Structure 1
């Protein structure tokens, strides 16, 4: 019988909703020291097994279908089957952004939900490597990863952290490859630009801007964060101002890089180039009254070549950042997968920002995976996701998308 027919039968003939309720209760039941509570958990666990047994006995491959029904609703299961029909293989690594993807300040109190953490541990138990891919500092990511997933998983040798959007990779348990500082491989021309900007970014900032921002404690990238709640109107104001300020600092660094440009000309080139490259940056420059009228094709080739190696990123009411395009998340993910021994990757990429989009595009271009995003992701990310597999999930509901991928892997075992 065709797989789709079997799934229809599974969800039509069995009470899968109740089955999932029992599975969710058993999975995320908090550790308690109460005989009454433990007895209740045991009763639920016994009932869960009885319901799974009914499915096991009803299908030739009933064990797998019982797990499918316990993990996914009808829509998730059919989406997983669609993905298997299209790609014909299981996901062999997860590549996961954190902020506004695994966790969301808008709906999860900026904590990774317990159901999401549980699904990640189930992937780990099945041998699927996990790559946390974030713009945050390594210490921040290590802290919440150990707290949420446990020290044993983080140091299992099957998990990697790509931090600061690709400037470094941390993969515990791999000897000399445990920590890779990818920025060490950049040439002096680029490192000198970053050194100059970093030395000036706070001391030279206007007083009103300096009071409203702080510099994230990165090893390499230069990231301005607001001293206000992310997403608030005050955060929006200082980050928009901070973006213009960073562009001008980058322009000033150009004048020290043997480009034969005066400060005003360099600033016009910088604003013109990055406005042309990113519509959100253009909108900020327009709202701030700082748009350059210089045509992009008038930017000298040597200057353009330098711009093509330097990334300026804008995250609405959250951050403004300068990084190296040679050290984006794609470079970090490739380095992480190499250390983890994923030779023929087919990854599930989940993220919400332009830096995540680059990884999704890399996966699509190399037939190396699928991309998924929360419904509040940036416009370009959502456009890409809708144009590929339409894997969009609700804010704060990353576990639902992870379950879809988990079921894809279950179905792939059936061949």
Structure 2
């Protein structure tokens, strides 16, 4: 209980809120070329040093406790203490989704807040590797991460990008291991399915759909995005239609790629088609997809039990993902964020991982469950994450944060690591 008593004393006897405000000001607003601004910045710096010195002189681990006061609120510090009591270790890597996790269209104007970016640089300077884990393309992610964190950090050798939800891993500064194309390791039959879908998805789309969507520039996954503002009614309508179209394309492509599929079709009910098989299988696998198919008058007539085994075996390796008013996507279940994260941690030489996983979607949930099942980390999510993600986070460590406020959880993890060093 000694640490709890010391932290209680820290926040009872010292104005930690003012210390934190000064620290945040100095972190986010560096000196600028203005005499007045420089004087104001220097005054703030001097006052921060004085307040930290009081804490340094009052505690045996004064440097660490001054850092705790400057980085976290009382509640955040006690949460970090609880986590350390539970796990007895700090985090040795960050695994972070981007959209609606680090940034939010509804709160941060789709930009990662400056305070969040600065905290990431603090982790980097403390030697904690950062893994950005996203469904976006490599070039897009690399571009805005360099813009936000700087070229030096991104190419430092302790920064990795798991892109397209796990199809590839990019870790600059690691020679032949810098870029790992995990999709190259898939069986030829699976790659054939994706090649066929990619070649047909836009050229054969109905005119109204083709004019309303575009194909995201992925290396492997096939992702339809709306030509409307994400989240709008127009985007919702076109992505729902696009989902039906993708599912049907997948059914035909799997039928063409599956060995002995023609024989399987002969044994199946006469009114069933590969498109019906796909609708039946994926509606049965995902209630959200079933709801969309039903709303689009595309509910399957086929019983999922009647899907031929040779076709089902390929369906079981391929994922259909639906993001309301955002995207419809086909990906490999063998290539997911979990596999990408494990590959990234291997390149980064994190041999005994205990990571902070932050995300909002079902693809992030897989990483969270892996961390939980292997005692390899803790999970956090924004309040608007999918219900399954929120259920998992609340059932583990309750690290749910307000939309756009990823910094609050990063502060907790930072203090957790400070405490672990004591």
| Shift in Å, 1:233 | 0.7
1:18 matches 2:26: no
Separation (CA, whole Å) in 2 of partners of 1:195 and 1:366: 35
Identify the residue that residue 360 of structure 2 maps to in structure 1.
Answer: 352
Classify 1:135/1:31 alpha carbon distance in 2 versus 1 (closer, same or farther; 3 Å): farther
What is the correspondence of 1:305-344 to structure 2 with a 5 Å cutoff? 305-344=313-352
Q: Aligned with 2:56: secondary structure?
A: helix
Select which of 262, 266, 272 maps to 2:274. Answer: 266
Identify the residue that residue 370 of structure 1 maps to in structure 2.
Answer: 378
Identify the residue that residue 128 of structure 2 maps to in structure 1.
Answer: 128
Identify the residue that residue 110 of structure 1 maps to in structure 2.
Answer: 110
1:228 matches 2:236: no
Alignment deviations for residues 344-378 of structure 1 (CA, whole Å, 9 cap, x no partner): 00010111111111111111111111111111111
Identify the residue that residue 157 of structure 1 maps to in structure 2.
Answer: 157
Separation (CA, whole Å) in 1 of partners of 2:392 and 2:87: 17
Identify the residue that residue 67 of structure 2 maps to in structure 1.
Answer: 67
Identify the residue that residue 395 of structure 1 maps to in structure 2.
Answer: 403
Q: Is the 8 A contact 2:357 2:379 kept in 1?
A: yes
Identify the residue that residue 195 of structure 1 maps to in structure 2.
Answer: 195
Alignment deviations for residues 43-62 of structure 1 (CA, whole Å, 9 cap, x no partner): 10111111111112222212
1:78 matches 2:86: no
Alignment deviations for residues 158-201 of structure 1 (CA, whole Å, 9 cap, x no partner): 00011111111110000000111111111110000001100110
Q: Aligned with 2:47: secondary structure?
A: helix
Alignment deviations for residues 365-415 of structure 1 (CA, whole Å, 9 cap, x no partner): 11111111111111111111111111111111111111111111111112x
1:33 matches 2:33: yes
| Shift in Å, 1:304 | 2.1
| Shift in Å, 1:293 | 4.0
Separation (CA, whole Å) in 2 of partners of 1:86 and 1:296: 44
Separation (CA, whole Å) in 2 of partners of 1:246 and 1:264: 18
Q: Which runs of 4+ in 1 moved over 4 A?
A: none
Segment of structure 1 superposing worse, 8-17 or 225-234? 8-17
Q: Is the 8 A contact 2:31 2:37 kept in 1?
A: no
Q: Is the 8 A contact 2:31 2:41 kept in 1?
A: no
Q: Aligned with 2:273: secondary structure?
A: helix
| Shift in Å, 1:31 | 4.9
Separation (CA, whole Å) in 1 of partners of 2:15 and 2:306: 66
Gaps of 5+ in 1: none
Separation (CA, whole Å) in 2 of partners of 1:69 and 1:85: 19
TM-score (normalised: structure 1)? 0.97
Classify 1:67/1:180 alpha carbon distance in 2 versus 1 (closer, same or farther; 3 Å): same
| Shift in Å, 1:21 | 0.5
Separation (CA, whole Å) in 2 of partners of 1:225 and 1:137: 13
Identify the residue that residue 418 of structure 2 maps to in structure 1.
Answer: 410
Alignment deviations for residues 323-348 of structure 1 (CA, whole Å, 9 cap, x no partner): 11111111111110000000000010
Separation (CA, whole Å) in 2 of partners of 1:112 and 1:276: 37
Separation (CA, whole Å) in 1 of partners of 2:13 and 2:288: 50
Gaps of 5+ in 2: none
Separation (CA, whole Å) in 2 of partners of 1:153 and 1:362: 27
Separation (CA, whole Å) in 2 of partners of 1:386 and 1:219: 35
Separation (CA, whole Å) in 2 of partners of 1:161 and 1:68: 29
| Shift in Å, 1:289 | 2.3
Q: Is the 8 A contact 2:31 2:38 kept in 1?
A: no
Give the number of aligned pairs.
Answer: 414
| Shift in Å, 1:75 | 1.3
Separation (CA, whole Å) in 2 of partners of 1:409 and 1:307: 43
Identify the residue that residue 145 of structure 1 maps to in structure 2.
Answer: 145
| Shift in Å, 1:214 | 0.2
1:282 matches 2:290: yes
TM-score (normalised: structure 2)? 0.96
Q: State the Cα RMSD in Å.
A: 1.3
Q: Aligned with 2:165: secondary structure?
A: helix
Identify the residue that residue 304 of structure 2 maps to in structure 1.
Answer: 296
Alignment deviations for residues 246-295 of structure 1 (CA, whole Å, 9 cap, x no partner): 10000111221242338943222212222222222122122222222433
Q: Aligned with 2:160: secondary structure?
A: strand
Q: Is the 8 A contact 2:272 2:302 kept in 1?
A: no
